[in-house]
Every structure is written in structure tokens, then in C-alpha cells.
Amino acid sequence: MNPLAETNHQFDITIVGGGMVGLSLALLLAAQRRWKILVLESQSVTGETVSEYSASFDARSTALSWSSRCIFQQLGIWQKIEQHAQAISSIHVSDRGHFGMTRLEAEEAGVDALGYVVENSWLGAVLMQQVAEADVCLQGNTAISAITPKAESMQLEIDVNGQLQQINSQLLIVADGANSTCAKMLGINQHRKAYDHSAIIANVCLDQAHNKVAYERFTDQGPMALLPLTDFKNSHRCALVWTQPSEQATQLMAADDGAFLEALQIRFGHRLGSFKQVGERVSYPLALTTSEEQVRSRLVVAGNAAHSLHPVAGQGFNLSLRDIDCLARCLKDQPGKADVGALAPLLDYQRQRDKDQRNTLMFTDNLSKLFGLTSPAIALGRNSGLLMMDLVPTLRNQFAHFGMGTEQSGVDYG
Ligand SMILES: Cc1cc2nc3c(=O)[nH]c(=O)nc-3n(C[C@H](O)[C@H](O)[C@H](O)COP(=O)(O)OP(=O)(O)OC[C@H]3O[C@@H](n4cnc5c(N)ncnc54)[C@H](O)[C@@H]3O)c2cc1C
């Protein structure tokens, strides 16, 4: 549906950004069948593949936590996502060149899987299809030229394929990514701490099956993760996230496939046999960004626009999904005729999410720092920590449940 062909440009909720967070939120809100919802996306939304239109749905894969699985299950789309999701039955954590290692097991944590790895292109395809079937208006090729807070609504001036339009929405949700232009327009400061590291991502083929094991390997140059993917045409595939100083990442991006695989083999070792093939490589400069404000009257900042984390523990999207699940619940709990942009439920949302956000941000930031330090004393300390975790099941369990997103959210995801 082209919503802006209609004459009435009044919406209850407008979401700017049709990435993983914007689309998931649109579905969570549409499930209430209560509001008129608009999603504005800057890219075209009619590409042959979802990666053609959204920065979210590129060559990356996402490790979904148990909490994310539960949220998608509530939405009725988990079965579809699961068709191409690889369950993780154990996570092997090690510190390259040192003695410390531990292994987290799904069975020990009392769950079917510690998480699931899904390619963003598939996740995007499922979300898009669902949004197309839901009562949601999705408009691509939009550029927002002004946002004006009014007493009764947020007023947006937008350019759609060269045509200027005005939209009024009771609530505006900004989910336009880490470099949010909407936040800038609204005068919301975003703090950015560059890590001076980049993550190279690629799918790789190995000559051995991964047996549902995910590897998180800390090295003196930065952490690397090898996440199990579903087999494709009898190839054993894994998703690589290889963090390293940006200068080295640039060199590795320029290397041919053979040289890249050789360097990878040396860094990762032979735990999974030989690396055979590498797909498209993409490099992401890493930074921790946080928005100084997440709610105002008639406004919520969500997803990467609110907080964008180091990918070391695969937490960014999972955290945002718990955020927006909570937001949808807070809005749902308002009486039928209530103004959906009223400040009180938004403040309640922020209060409920504060602890999880702070803990997850601190955890990923500290983890990336701790394993980046080369001092022998610190290396000894962190390896003793890994060893201790390996010996004490309660510690392992706490760590596993943190990654699953079931501990810190305060919501019983089952
Ligand atoms: C290498 C790497 C690996 C990761 N792995 C994991 C993982 O395993 N697990 C996990 O949970 N998280 C992971 N993450 C984090 C995850 O990718 C992000 O949390 C997620 O992409 C955030 O989605 P988003 O929709 O908020 O933002 P984005 O993905 O940035 O999407 C923003 C959307 O807004 C659109 N847009 C931008 N500007 C405008 C505008 N002005 N108007 C309209 N639309 C606009 C863009 O086109 C895009 O579609 C990883 C991140 C990286 C970098």
C-alpha cells in the first residue's frame, strides 16, 4: 500500500527507519490492532532482495538470543525465521595463546539452544513479508526535511520521490540507525566513542561440520567469532565476525581470498579444520554510540539510534528487541482512547529498560576492553576467570543466561 497517496496524512504512530528494529517494532505494534501505523524508510522498499533497500539486511548474520526467539514466537513468525536459523548448542570461549577457556552448553542451561544464527537477508525477508501482510503503511524513498513538535502531534515534512508531503503523528519513533539524522534534527546529542577497531564479516566454508558450536576467540588484536550457519548445498558454513585494529582490517579487506583465508587460518587455528572459501567481505568501523535522550513527549529513540554496541557478544539487536517489546507492552497497557504520544507511559518504558540497557552496554564495552589488554598480569587474571568459570557451573550458567537475555530484562521469557 502506498500510504501517502491517501489524502489523510494523520497517523497514530510513525516509525522512521525500516531496518531490523523499525520493522520488528511495526509488527509488535500492529499486533495490537489499535493504531494507524506508518513506517518511513529512506531506501526503496521494492528491491528484488531486501539487502538492496536496507542497511540492516546486508551480508551479516545475527545471533538471536533466547529472548529474541520468544518475542518472534509471540509475533507468530519464529517458525518462518527458524527455517534458516542454525541453533547453537554450545559456545566455546577461549583466549588465544593462553590457557583459559570455557564451554557453555544449552543442556546445562536447561534450554534447547543458547541462541540461533540467522542471515540478515532471511530475517529481513521474513519481516518484510509480515509487514506487507500486516495493517502497516510502509513508504520507501523518503527523505525527512523537518520535524516540528506540536502540542497534539509530531509534524514531519518529507520528500517522497521528489514530492513534498506533510505528516502528523501522535507518536514518532526514531529508528534510523547509529547516525540518526532525526535525532540530530531534534537536537538530541549522541555520544560516540570510537574503538579504533573494525569488524570484518563474511560467510566462510570449512571442511568440517561445526556441530552447532559457536566459537568466541579473544586475541591480542581483538575478538573473533565463528558462528554456525545452516549448511548450504552440502557446504559447512559459518559466519565470521573478525575484529581487529582498523589499519589491519583495511589490509585484510584488500587481500585476495587466498591470502585472507590463510591469515584467518593462522588467527583462528585448526579447531574446525581448514577454511575453504570466503564469501563477500564487509568491514564495519566500530564505535559505542548512545543517545543522550531516549524519550520525550511524543517521541522515542530506538534501536541503534538509541544505543549501538560493540558486536563482541552479539547483543545489539537482541537488546533493542527487548526494548521495543517493552515499549509495545507499555503502550498497550494504556486505556483505549488514550493519547499514544503521552509522556507518562514513555517514561515508564524508559524506567523499565534502564537496567538492562546499562548492564548490556557495560558488559560488551568491558569485554572488548578486557580482552584487548596484553599485560601479563591482566592476561593471567582473565584466564583464571575463564578457568574458574569452566570449573564452577553456577558461574557458567549465569554467563549463559546473560547472553540469552533472560536474566537482565526482568521479563519472564520462559
Ligand atoms: C558486525 C556486526 C555484527 C553484529 N552482530 C549482531 C548479532 O549477532 N546479534 C545482535 O543482536 N546484534 C548484532 N549486531 C547489531 C545489529 O546489527 C544492530 O543492533 C541492528 O542492525 C540495529 O538495527 P536498526 O534497525 O536499529 O538500525 P539499522 O540496521 O542501522 O537500520 C536503520 C534503518 O533506517 C534507515 N534510515 C536511515 N536514515 C533514515 C532516514 N533519515 N529516514 C528513513 N530511514 C532511514 C536505513 O536505511 C535502515 O533501513 C551486529 C552489528 C555489527 C556491526
Amino acid at 407: E
Residue 82 CA to ligand 1 center (angstroms) comes to 21
- Give ligand 1 pocket residues (Cβ under 6 A): 16-22, 40-43, 54-56, 60, 62-63, 142, 144, 175-177, 181, 199, 201, 241, 284, 303-304, 311, 314-318, 320
User: Using CA atoms, how far apart are residues 267 and 258, in angstroms rounded to an integer?
Assistant: 14
Q: Which residue of 4, 14, 15, 21 sits with most ligand 1 atoms within 8 Å of its CB, as the best mutation to test the pocket? A: 21
Ligand 1 nearest-atom number relative to CA 17: 34
Nearby residues of 407 by Cβ (< 8 Å), 6 or more positions away: 398, 401
Which residue in 132, 138, 123 sits closest to 59, CA to CA? 123
Per DSSP, the three-state class of 401 is: helix
Angstrom distances, CA of residue 34 to CA of 8, 12, 28, 239:
18, 9, 11, 39
- For residue 235, what is the DSSP state? B
Residue 319 CA to ligand 1 center (angstroms) comes to 12
What does the domain layout of the chain look like in residue ranges?
3-192+287-404
Q: Grid coordinates representing 49?
A: 532482495
Atom 52 of ligand 1 has which residue's CA nearest to it? 311
User: Using CA atoms, how far apart are residues 53 and 125, in angstroms rounded to an integer?
Assistant: 11
Which residue in 212, 199, 201 sits closest to 272, CA to CA? 212
Cα 248 to the center of its chain, rounded Å? 25
The pLDDT score that the predictor gives to residue 161 is 84
pTM of structure: 0.91
The pLDDT score that the predictor gives to residue 335 is 86
Domain 3-192+287-404 coded CATH 3.40.120.10: no
Contact 46, 53 (CB under 8 A): yes
Q: Is 271 exposed, middle or buried (0-12, 13-18, 19+ CB in 10 A)?
A: middle
Contact 140, 44 (CB under 8 A): yes
Q: Grid coordinates representing 67?
A: 529472548
**Strand ranges, E, within 252-406:** 275-278, 282-291, 295-296, 299-301, 307-308
Which residue in 148, 147, 181 sits closest to 291, CA to CA? 181
Contact 293, 188 (CB under 8 A): yes
The pLDDT score that the predictor gives to residue 222 is 81
222: left (phi over 0), alpha (psi -120 to 50) or beta: left
User: Using CA atoms, how far apart are residues 37 and 27, in angstroms rounded to an integer?
Assistant: 10
* Distinct helix (H) and strand (E) counts, the chain: 12, 20
Contact 12, 170 (CB under 8 A): yes
Cα angle value 149/152/158 (rounded, 5°):
50
64 forms bridges with which residues in the sheet?
A: 116
- Low-confidence stretches of the chain (pLDDT < 70) are 1-8, 47-58, 96-101, 369-403, 407-414
